[in-house]
Amino acid sequence: MRKTFILCTVSALLGGLVAIALYDPPDTEPQTQAQESGPWTPPQPGSGVAVRIDPNAPAPAGYEGLTPEERVGVAVYENTNRSVVNITTQSVQTDRMFMFERIAEGEGSGSVIDRQGHVLTNFHVVDRARQVQVTLFNQKTYEAKLVGIDPETDMAVLKIDAASEELFPVALGSSTGLRVGQRVFAIGNPFGLERTLTTGVISSLNRSLPRRGQHGTIKSIIQIDAAINPGSSGGPLLDSQGRVIGMNTAIASRTGESAGVGFAIPVNTILRVVPQLIEDGHVLRGDIGITRVYETEQGLRIAALASDGAAEAAGLKGPEIVRHRKRQGQYVYEYQTIDRAAADLIVAVDGKPIRSADSLLDVVENKKPGEEVVVTVIRDGKKSNVTVQLDADE
């Protein structure tokens, strides 16, 4: 039996009763507001970074009696917890049996990412929410506007109208060079318990996580063993310097509670996506114009091309329709068959071997419309390169 990946969503009903259940939202899409301001610049490292602990130096004031390892954990929390917010949502759910609507409350976590009031969280935390509120470390609560969403990476950016002196942005680090076994710290709001710190190590890197309610997977996921319980979704994953190296997004569990297998979106993905969400409200990705493929041991056989799409314009070939005529007595019948073997077999893109639809999307989705990719195909037993200029992914 496959493990069920349960994203960290908490519904609070009847004055605080917490129930962990599958979310069945109404058919309303969240509205996003693109910002009219200039390009977003991430906070510079230095603000909110935990102090460096020298194990051979005397304990600083307030840290007496703590081991060097304990000092690191305390410093990470004290320098970062004000950057973590509690997010509460309200949505309308329809009871399918009795056909009545009820208000459902949800909860999650987020990180302040600048002094303009932008807050980063998971898309699934605010998905279909009609009302979103953000509570800061000082217990002040603000109505939040949805600035941008990217379901493909489970990211959303909110904005609150809080004074800049109330906002303490996280320090964004890098997920390049992370190592299995590296110490990590997670801050979130599990079960409504505000700004809770859990610790652990990186268990694995470059994991894949199925997209919630969608086809495809989120790539390059960080696997950790720090407890990530419902309500902690959207909170930051930190290194021992208090720098954000990821955003906690999911757990692998059959019960809905942490079982020592959690997942985080790497900060390098965040740095690529968030500026587009703030500026445009969405992410614009390249589209190669191939709508369906068959996976084979040799590569991807094109099954269908988008009409007038990028691949068709570049000369890539899909299956051929073969028309036949057959005489039976005095009648002539016409029919057609599909020759799938006539379609191009994709074996590489930009020199990278391609064996699955996900590997093709990995290359294409990191490109912008107008950029080119070189597709290596086998056609009629011969290998050739075809240059495709990507369209916009609608």
Per residue in 214-233, pLDDT (tens digit) is 556 777 789 998 878 777 88
What pLDDT sits at residue 23? 35
What are the backbone angles phi and psi of residue 269, rounded to the nearest 5°? -70, -40
For residues 17 and 243, the answer to whether their CB atoms sit within 8 Å is no
CA distance linking residue 84 with residue 353, whole number of Å: 41
- Whether 37 has a pLDDT exceeding 80, the answer reads no
pTM of the model: 0.69
Beta bridge partners of 252: 5
CA distance linking residue 197 with residue 188, whole number of Å: 7
Question: What confidence tier does 168 reach under pLDDT thresholds 50, 70, 90?
Answer: very high
What pLDDT sits at residue 184? 93
Q: Which helix (H) or strand (E) holds 91?
A: strand 84-94
Question: What confidence tier does 259 reach under pLDDT thresholds 50, 70, 90?
Answer: low
Question: Going by C-beta distance under 8 Å and a sequence separation of 6 or more, which residues neighbour residue 248?
Answer: 8, 109, 186, 188, 228, 232, 233, 234, 235, 236, 237, 262, 263, 264
The residue among 300 and 328 whose pLDDT is bigger is 300
Q: What is the mean pLDDT of residues 110-132?
A: 92
What does the DSSP assignment read for 167-204?
Answer: --PPEE---TT--TT-EEEEEE-GGG-SSEEEEEEEEE
Q: Which residues are catalytic?
A: 124, 154, 233
Specify the residue for token string 């994953």.
237
CA distance linking residue 193 with residue 382, whole number of Å: 62
Q: What value, to the nearest 5°, has the Cα angle with vertex 176 and ends 219 and 174?
A: 100
Domains annotated on the chain, with CATH:
5-280 (2.40.10.120), 287-392 (2.30.42.10)
- Whether 208 has a pLDDT exceeding 80, the answer reads no
What pLDDT sits at residue 26? 36
Strand 331-339 with 320-328, pairing = antiparallel
CA distance linking residue 355 with residue 353, whole number of Å: 7
Question: Going by C-beta distance under 8 Å and a sequence separation of 6 or more, which residues neighbour residue 89?
Answer: 105, 106, 107, 108, 125, 126, 129, 131, 132, 133
| Among 147, 109, 108, 146, residue whose Cα is nearest residue 128 | 146
34 burial type by CB count under 10 A (0-12 exposed, 13-18 middle, 19+ buried): middle
What pLDDT sits at residue 344? 94
What pLDDT sits at residue 257? 53
